[in-house]
C-alpha cells in the first residue's frame, strides 16, 4: 500500500513544479497588426559562441532580412568586415562591434543595422565582491522610418554556474534594466542566462516578447535539456507583430526573431 502514500506526494510535487509553467503572464503576445499599417522593425538576436561557421549559417536564415542584427557573443575568428559582407543590409549599414580583450567572452557583442544608430556605448559592469570578470552591456538608440525613437540594450550576463556567478548575473541584469521606464519605447534583448520562472525575471522592466513555454532557445545540442534563456523584453508602448526562434545555426543557442512597432506619442521622435 506504499503507492497510496507515494502517489499523492508525487502529485503535489509535480503540481508545484509545473504551476509556474502554466501561469506565466509576464509576456506580450503578437498582435493582429501587420506591417502595412504600422512602422515595423525586424530584429534578430543570436549567441554564436566562438563558432565562425555559425555566422555564415546565420546569414542563410531570416536574419539576412533583419533591420537590426544583434550578436551577443561574436565569434573570435570573425571580423566586422565579414559581418558586413554577410549582412550588407542594402542601405546605410552601421556596425557597432565590441572587442575588449579584458572582458569575458560574453562581452564581444556586435550590432549591425540598416539605419544609422545613435549613442552607441558599452556600459561596463564589474563585480568587485566576486571572482567574476567584468561584462559589457551594449546600448544604442534606433530611429524608425517614421521617426519613432527606440532605446536598445543588448545583454549577456555571466552564466549562473555558482553562487558568485548567479549574484553577478542578477546585478548585471538589474544594471541593464534600471535606466528603462516601462512606459518607454525600449527593447532589452539577448542571452539573459535566466529562465522566466526564476524570481529575478519578474523584477526586470517590461514584458517578454512572446511565450517562452513552447520555444526553448538553449541547448540546441540537446532537446531534453533545452531552456528558454534568450529573451526580448519590451516597453508598454512597443507593439509586437511577430516573434519566434530561428533554425539551428551551429551554436548552442537558437537565434530569436521578432517584429515590433513603436508608438510615436512619447516625445522621443527624431528628425533623422
Summarised one tens digit per residue, pLDDT across range 153-199 is 999 999 998 899 999 999 999 999 988 887 789 999 999 999 998 98
Q: Is 67 in contact with 42 (CB distance < 8 Å)? A: yes
**Domain for residue 193, yes or no?**
yes
pLDDT of residue 103: 54
**Domain for residue 15, yes or no?**
no
Q: What is the mean pLDDT of residues 94-118?
A: 70
The vertex-215 CA angle with 169 and 207, nearest 5°, equals 55
Give the chain's mean pLDDT.
81
Helix (H, G, I), strand (E, B), or coil: what is residue 206?
coil
**Domain for residue 100, yes or no?**
yes
**pLDDT single digits (tens) 127-136:** 887 788 888 8
Per the structure, the count of domains in the chain is 1
* Domain around 123: 26-262
* In the block, residue with C-alpha cell 502517489: 7
**Domain for residue 4, yes or no?**
no
Query: In 45-97, which residue ranges form alpha helices assigned H by DSSP?
Result: 52-58, 80-86
- CATH of residue 178: 3.60.10.10
**pLDDT single digits (tens) 215-250:** 777 766 666 677 889 999 999 889 999 999 999 888
**Domain for residue 45, yes or no?**
yes
**What is the Cα Rg of the chain in Å?**
19
**Domain for residue 55, yes or no?**
yes
Q: At residue 13, does pLDDT exceed 90?
A: no
pTM listed for this prediction:
0.85
Which residues, including other chains, have CB under 8 Å from residue 28's CB and lie 6 or more apart? 207, 208, 209, 210, 234, 238, 240
Establish how many alpha carbons lie within 13 A of residue 199's alpha carbon, considering only the half-sphere containing its beta carbon.
3
pLDDT of residue 241: 94
pLDDT of residue 132: 86
Q: At residue 98, does pLDDT exceed 70?
A: no
Q: Is 41 in contact with 68 (CB distance < 8 Å)? A: yes
Q: At residue 49, does pLDDT exceed 70?
A: yes
pLDDT of residue 8: 52
Residue 98 or residue 90, greater confidence: 90
Amino acid at each position: 500500500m506504499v503507492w497510496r502514500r507515494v502517489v499523492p506526494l508525487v502529485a503535489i510535487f509535480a503540481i508545484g513544479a509545473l504551476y509556474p509553467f502554466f501561469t506565466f503572464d509576464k509576456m506580450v503576445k503578437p498582435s493582429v497588426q501587420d506591417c502595412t499599417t504600422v512602422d515595423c522593425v525586424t530584429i534578430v538576436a543570436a549567441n554564436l559562441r566562438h563558432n565562425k561557421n555559425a555566422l555564415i549559417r546565420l546569414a542563410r536564415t531570416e536574419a539576412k532580412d533583419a533591420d537590426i542584427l544583434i550578436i551577443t557573443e561574436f565569434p573570435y575568428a570573425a571580423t566586422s568586415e565579414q559581418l558586413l559582407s554577410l549582412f550588407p543590409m542594402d542601405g546605410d549599414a552601421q556596425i557597432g562591434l565590441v572587442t575588449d580583450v579584458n572582458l569575458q567572452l560574453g562581452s564581444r557583442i556586435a550590432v549591425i543595422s540598416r539605419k544609422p544608430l545613435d549613442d552607441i556605448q558599452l556600459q561596463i559592469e564589474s563585480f568587485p565582491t566576486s571572482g567574476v570578470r567584468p561584462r559589457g552591456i551594449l546600448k544604442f538608440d534606433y530611429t524608425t522610418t517614421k521617426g519613432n525613437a527606440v532605446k536598445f540594450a543588448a545583454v549577456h550576463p555571466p552564466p549562473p554556474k555558482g553562487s558568485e556567478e548567479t549574484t553577478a548575473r542578477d546585478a548585471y541584469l538589474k544594471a541593464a534594466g534600471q535606466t528603462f521606464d516601462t512606459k518607454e519605447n525600449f527593447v532589452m534583448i539577448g542571452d539573459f542566462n535566466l529562465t522566466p520562472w526564476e524570481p529575478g525575471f519578474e523584477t526586470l522592466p517590461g514584458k517578454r516578447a512572446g511565450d517562452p513555454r513552447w520555444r526553448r532557445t538553449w541547448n540546441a545540442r540537446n532537446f531534453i535539456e533545452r531552456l528558454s534563456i534568450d529573451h526580448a523584453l519590451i516597453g508598454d508602448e512597443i507593439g509586437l507583430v511577430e516573434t519566434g526562434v530561428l533554425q539551428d545555426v551551429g551554436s548552442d543557442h537558437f537565434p530569436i526573431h521578432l517584429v515590433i512597432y513603436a508608438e510615436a506619442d512619447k516625445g522621443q521622435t527624431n528628425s533623422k
